[in-house]
Amino acid sequence: MLGKDYIDQDCALARALEVVGERWTLLIIRDAFFGVRRFSEFQAHLDIPKAVLAERLNSLVAEGLLERVPDPAHSGRHLYELTESGRDLWPAMHALITWGSRHRHLNSRVYMHAACGTVLDEDGRCANCDLAPGPEEILTEPRKGRGRSRSDPVAIALRGPHRLLEPLET
C-alpha cells in the first residue's frame, strides 16, 4: 500500500499532496465550493463509500481545510464548511478544472464573475473587470446541453445558477 507522505521531498507540492492528494479529496473540496455541507449530501452526490467519506472529512477537518460545525436543523449532526485555508484552494481547483476540460473531458459547468456575468477565462480572470474574483464572487451554472444526467439532491440543486460557497438548498 502506498504511503500518504513524501518524507524525503523538500517541496511545498509534496506537503500539499499529503493533504489533498488522496482519491476523492479534491471532489469533496469541489463540492464544498458548490455549497455542499452535509455528510449525506456529499455521499449521495459523489457515490463515495461512507467509511471513505468519513475518513476524508475527518482528515480535511484535522488539516484545517474544513470546519465541522453543529447542524442547527439536525441535533447531533454536523455541517462542513471550507475554512480560509480551504477557500485558498480555489485558484488551484479552477486550474485543475480547466486542465481537465482542455485535456480530458469538457467540463459540465461554466464559472462566471457574479458582478457582471462574464465567463471566467482559463486563468480564472474576468476579462470585463480585469480581475480574478474570489470564490464568493463566482457563479456557476451547467454548460448548455450538459448536467442533467444525475438525479441526486445536489445535482438537482445545481441545475441552475449557483454562487460558490452559498449553502445548497436540497
Q: How many CB atoms lie within 10 A of CB 13?
A: 10
pLDDT digits (tens, 9 = 90+) for 111-149: 999 999 999 999 999 999 999 999 999 999 999 876 567
In this predicted structure, what is the pLDDT of residue 147?
55
Instruction: Say whether pLDDT at 89 is over 80.
Output: yes
In this predicted structure, what is the pLDDT of residue 6?
76
Q: How far apart are CA 77 and CA 96, in angstroms?
A: 32
Q: How buried is 151 (Cβ within 10 angstroms: 0-12 exposed, 13-18 middle, 19+ buried)?
A: exposed
In this predicted structure, what is the pLDDT of residue 151?
87
In this predicted structure, what is the pLDDT of residue 1?
47
pLDDT digits (tens, 9 = 90+) for 148-168: 678 899 999 999 999 999 999
pLDDT digits (tens, 9 = 90+) for 26-82: 999 999 999 999 999 999 999 999 999 999 999 999 999 999 999 998 999 999 999
In this predicted structure, what is the pLDDT of residue 141?
94
Q: Is 91 left (phi over 0), alpha (psi -120 to 50) or beta?
A: alpha
Q: How far apart are CA 27 and CA 55, in angstroms?
A: 14
Domains of the chain: 12-163 (1.10.10.10)
